[in-house]
């Protein structure tokens, strides 16, 4: 069965939580590796998203996923002009599959929020390709 990236993230996070409750460290670590794989290979990076992107495990649950990241802003002359820390909140939506919310203090770079929304929506909507597991 094909799954989209956000679905694979959600099911893997739930599996990790179950492994944590059952104290199954081996499978917990395998699921954690899968999360790292998804972050590195499916979530946006580059083009301003030049710092670490990570899943906030403490704020994510079976109804939402929280991603922390930063955007490297440029001024009108093409020079770097600081960073904007932001959160991507993915929540379930029966009508559209998932709902996406971008939060952060964008200030004069509020237009970046729309760019990030489109970018994350596109990436999370991609078909996830199963990784090979040699374990």
- Stretch (H or E) spanning 35: helix 25-42
pLDDT at 132: 63
Distance separating alpha carbons of residues 60 and 37, to the nearest angstrom: 18
Domain boundaries, the chain: 5-124
Q: What is the pLDDT of residue 9?
A: 95
The predicted pLDDT at position 51 comes to 85
Backbone angles phi, psi at 33, to 5 degrees: -65, -40
Helix (H, G, I), strand (E, B) or coil at 131: coil
Question: What phi and psi values does residue 117 have, to the nearest 5 degrees?
Answer: -60, -50
What are residue 31's phi and psi, to 5 degrees? -65, -40
Q: What is the structure's pLDDT at 62?
A: 83
pLDDT for res 50: 84
pLDDT at 93: 85
User: Strand 80-93 to strand 97-104: parallel, antiparallel, or no bridges (unpaired)?
Assistant: antiparallel
Mean pLDDT (10-residue bins), the chain, 135 residues: 92 95 95 95 89 92 93 89 94 89 93 94 93 56
Burial of residue 14, with CB atoms counted within 10 A of its CB: 0-12 exposed, 13-18 middle, 19 or more buried:
middle
């Amino acid at each position: 069965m094909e799954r989209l990236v956000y679905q694979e993230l959600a099911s893997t996070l739930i599996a990790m939580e179950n492994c944590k409750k059952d104290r199954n460290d081996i499978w917990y670590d395998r699921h954690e590796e899968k999360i790292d794989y998804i972050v590195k290979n499916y979530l946006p990076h580059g083009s301003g998203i030049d710092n670490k992107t990570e899943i906030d495990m403490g704020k994510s649950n079976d109804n939402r996923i929280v991603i922390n990241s930063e955007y490297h802003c440029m001024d009108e002359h093409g020079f770097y002009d600081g960073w904007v820390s932001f959160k991507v909140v993915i929540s379930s939506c029966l009508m559209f599959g998932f709902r996406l919310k971008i939060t952060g203090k964008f200030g004069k770079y509020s237009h970046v929020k729309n760019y990030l929304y489109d970018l994350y929506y596109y990436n999370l909507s991609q078909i996830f390709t199963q990784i090979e597991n040699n374990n």
